[in-house]
Amino acid sequence: MRNIRMTIAYDGFSYVGWQVQPNGPSVQVAVEKAIRKLTGQDVNVLAAGRTDSGVHALGQVASFRIDSPIPCEGIRKALVKFLPPDIAVRDVVEVPEDFHATFSAKWKQYRYVIHNSPDRNPFLKNHVWHQHGPLDSAAIHEAAQVLLGTHDFRSFESHWPNKATSIRTIYEVTVRRQNFCPLWFGETDAGMVAADSGDFIWLEIAGNGFLYNMVRAIVGTLLPVGRGRRTADEVRAMLESMNRSEAGDTAPAAGLYLVRVEYDDEWSASDADRDNA
């Protein structure tokens, strides 16, 4: 059996999320169906981040085992044909037997996009969170820094206790303005992210794992900071309260993107469990 790792991008709008659900189509089922069409084999595809309904991915990583000699690039091209047009396969590689998309992940990066403009963009209703009033992105950035480091993040976890532990480490969080909405990974790769002006506010956050709805709860908590109605110290107190009802609302799924998943060279199992965001 070969262990295959693939990086995929998808528009989450039409899906109930990554994972199989009784109430609608999931990305996982679409991917497994495409692999079955290609190989005739029933596979279980594991993903690094179990994205929720309506959440998008630019660089989700998934792995599966197949008994097939098809070269990786052949798998990629065939899957592109068998997948619906809102799921794209960026790359396919063969990895050592002990690689596991979920447990081998070292860190993940999510992005949340707010469209901060007096006018809604009618084309982006499923891809941003629209905020018509002015927001101070620098103030949001500053307040977000209180999240850095290792904390018990249960204040930002829906349905706690959802995991064995709510302790996670955040390595980096940046909030800056951009003049576009990231609807293709190429845009980011092209280095178009240097600006700090424009109608789109991107919150980018990297950590060793994320709890259920954690990024969206963080965004909902930071938003009043941008409006001048909450301070960084208050955000810190919310984090330290370890009480979900102390923190802010959960921001809508539409603005959330799983951008990147990183693994270390040894594919060693990390202590991150299967994450939700």
User: Any idea which residues carry the catalytic annotation?
Assistant: 52
Please tell me the chain's helix, strand, coil percentages from 3-state DSSP, rounded to the nearest 5: 30, 30, 40
Nearer to its own copies, 79 or 147 (CB): 79
Picking from 65, 88, 67, 86, the residue whose alpha carbon sits closest to that of residue 77 is: 88
Nearer to its own copies, 42 or 119 (CB): 119
In the complex, the smallest distance separating the C-beta of residue 132 from its own copies, rounded to whole angstroms, is 9
In the complex, the smallest distance separating the C-beta of residue 114 from its own copies, rounded to whole angstroms, is 15
170-201 burial, b if ≥16 CB within 10 A, otherwise e?
beebebbbbeebbbebeebeeeebeeeebbbb
In the complex, the smallest distance separating the C-beta of residue 173 from its own copies, rounded to whole angstroms, is 24
- Looking at this protein, which amino acid is placed at residue 37? K
Picking from 66, 57, 48, 112, the residue whose alpha carbon sits closest to that of residue 89 is: 57
In the complex, the smallest distance separating the C-beta of residue 85 from its own copies, rounded to whole angstroms, is 4
Nearer to its own copies, 123 or 171 (CB): 123
Beta-ladder partners of 91: 7
In the complex, the smallest distance separating the C-beta of residue 153 from its own copies, rounded to whole angstroms, is 29
Nearer to its own copies, 103 or 180 (CB): 180
Nearer to its own copies, 60 or 166 (CB): 60
Find the helix or strand (DSSP H, E) in which 148 lies: none
Cα Rg of the chain (Å, integer): 19
Asked if 50 and 62 count as a contact pair (C-beta separation under 8 A), the reply is no
By DSSP bridging, strand 167-178 and strand 149-152 are antiparallel
Interface positions with its own copies (CB under 8 A): 9-11, 56, 80, 85-88, 90, 119-125, 127, 130, 180-181, 183-184, 186-187, 199
